[in-house]
Amino acid sequence: MFTINPTDPAPIWRQIEEGIRRLIALGALTPGAAVPSVRDLARDLRVNPNTVARAYQRLTEGGVLIVKRGEGTYVADQPAQPRKAERNEALREAAMRYASSAIAIGAEIDAAVEELESAYDRVVRNHRRRA
Amino acid sequence: MFTINPTDPAPIWRQIEEGIRRLIALGALTPGAAVPSVRDLARDLRVNPNTVARAYQRLTEGGVLIVKRGEGTYVADQPAQPRKAERNEALREAAMRYASSAIAIGAEIDAAVEELESAYDRVVRNHRRRA
DNA sequence: CTTACTGTATTAGGTGCCTAGTACACAGTG
DNA sequence: CACTGTGTACTAGGCACCTAATACAGTAAG
C-alpha cells in the first residue's frame, strides 16, 4: 500500500493516517473498498497493531473509514474531506515547512519547484504501478 | 531571529539548527558574526538552554559555527555546506514529504506550487523586514 | 458450537525529547 | 582579586510515542 519512514519525525500513526488519505485521494481506495485488517497492515509495515489501530480509529472518527466490528474496516461511502479553510491552512503550513528546509539547505526556488514536481510524479506513478 | 513551532513533530533542537542555517543562507548571518548566547536565545524562544546548546553543538560539529569558550559563538569564516549529493537527497526527501501531504489533502500540483512560491516569498520578506 | 478472523482495550516497559536545577571551566571587566 | 557572562556537563522528572503481551467482544464459516 505505502511505506513508513522511521526517520521521519512524524509519528507512525500519523504517517499511516496520511497514507490512507493519500490512497483515497489518488483513487487507489474507492468508497466501500475494504481496508487491510489492523493485524495485516501491521505485519506489512512491520509495526505494532496498536499503532495501526490508532490511525484507523482517528480516520473513523474523521468520517473517512467505516468500521464493521468483527467484520472489517471500509472506506466510507462519502469520505469526509477537511473544510476548504482547513485544507488551505494545512497546505500553507506544509509549504512553509518545505520552503524553510529548502532555504536552509541553500536551494533556489526553481530547484525546489522542480523537485516538487518530480515528487508528485513519483507518487502518482508509484500508485499506478502497484494498482 | 526566528520562531519555534511547538506543534511541529520535529524536535526543537532541530528547528533551531535549521533556523540558524536558514539565516546564514539568507545572508542575515554573515561569516564572523556573533550568534546569540545559549541563554539569550533560550529566553527569546522560551526554551530550555540545554535545547539551544544541543543545536549549537551540532552546528559546531558540522563546521557551521565556531565557539570561543567563555566568549561566545560565531558563524564560521567559511560555513560548511553539505555535499552536493547530500543536499540533493535532503531536498528530494523534503519535497517528497510535502508532495505526500499535499496529495493526501487533495491538492493539485498547481496549488502546491503556488503555495510553495508564497512560502518562499514570506520567508525572504520576513528576513528583510527584521534585518 | 467451534474455529478463525475482525476491531478494541488494558497493562507494562523502553526510548527520545524537553524541562529544571545545579555545577564547572574559561574569558573579559572593574 | 571579585564579578559577570560565556559554553559545557550532569542528574532527575515528566511526557509522547512505540512495542509487547494479553484479553475481550463481535461476525462469518465450517
Tens digit of each residue's pLDDT (9 = 90 or more) over B11-26: 999 999 999 999 999 9
Q: Nearest residue to C8, CA vs C1'?
A: A53
Q: According to the model, what pLDDT value does residue A54 have?
A: 97
Tens digits of residue pLDDT in A16-59: 999 999 999 999 999 999 999 999 999 999 999 999 999 999 99
CA of B13 to C1' of D14 (A): 19
Chain D, protein-covered positions (CB within 7 A): 5-11, 16-22, 25-28
Q: At residue B130, does pLDDT exceed 80?
A: no
Q: According to the model, what pLDDT value does residue B46 have?
A: 95
Q: What is the pLDDT of chain B when averaged over all its residues?
A: 94
Radius of gyration of chain A (CA): 16
Q: According to the model, what pLDDT value does residue A127 have?
A: 84
Local structure of residue A10 (DSSP, 8 states)? S
Q: According to the model, what pLDDT value does residue A128 have?
A: 79
Give the C-alpha distances (Å, rounded to integers) separating A14 from A82, B123, B126. Answer: 16, 27, 30
Would you place residue B131 in the very low, low, confident or very high pLDDT band (cuts 50, 70, 90)? low
Tens digits of residue pLDDT in B24-37: 999 999 999 999 99
Give Cα B97 distance to the centre of its chain: 17
Residues of B in contact with A90 (CB under 8 A): 101, 105
A contact residues 24-53, partner B, Cβ 8 Å cutoff: 25-26
Would you place residue B70 in the very low, low, confident or very high pLDDT band (cuts 50, 70, 90)? confident
Q: Which neighbouring-strand residues pair with B75? A: B65
Would you place residue B81 in the very low, low, confident or very high pLDDT band (cuts 50, 70, 90)? confident
Chain C, protein-covered positions (CB within 7 A): 5-11, 16-22, 25-28
Q: According to the model, what pLDDT value does residue B25 have?
A: 95
Q: Nearest residue to C7, CA vs C1'?
A: A69
CB–CB of B11 and A10 under 8 A? no
Local structure of residue B37 (DSSP, 8 states)? P
Give the C-alpha distances (Å, rounded to integers) separating B67 from A1, A89, B57. Answer: 48, 39, 9
In this structure, the protein residues whose CB atom falls closer than 7 angstroms to any atom of nucleic acid strand D are A 11-13, 46-51, 54, 68-71; B 35, 37-40, 49-50, 53, 56-57, 60, 67, 69-73
Whether the Cβ atoms of residue A38 and residue A77 lie closer than 8 Å to each other: no
pTM attached to this predicted model: 0.93
CB–CB of A98 and B100 under 8 A? no
| Option in A104, A112, A119 nearest B25 (CB) | A104
Q: According to the model, what pLDDT value does residue A130 have?
A: 64
User: CB-based contact (8 Å) between A120 and chain B?
Assistant: yes
Q: At residue B96, does pLDDT exceed 80?
A: yes
Would you place residue B126 in the very low, low, confident or very high pLDDT band (cuts 50, 70, 90)? confident
Q: According to the model, what pLDDT value does residue A81 have?
A: 85
Q: According to the model, what pLDDT value does residue B1 have?
A: 87
> Which H or E element spans position B34?
strand B34-35
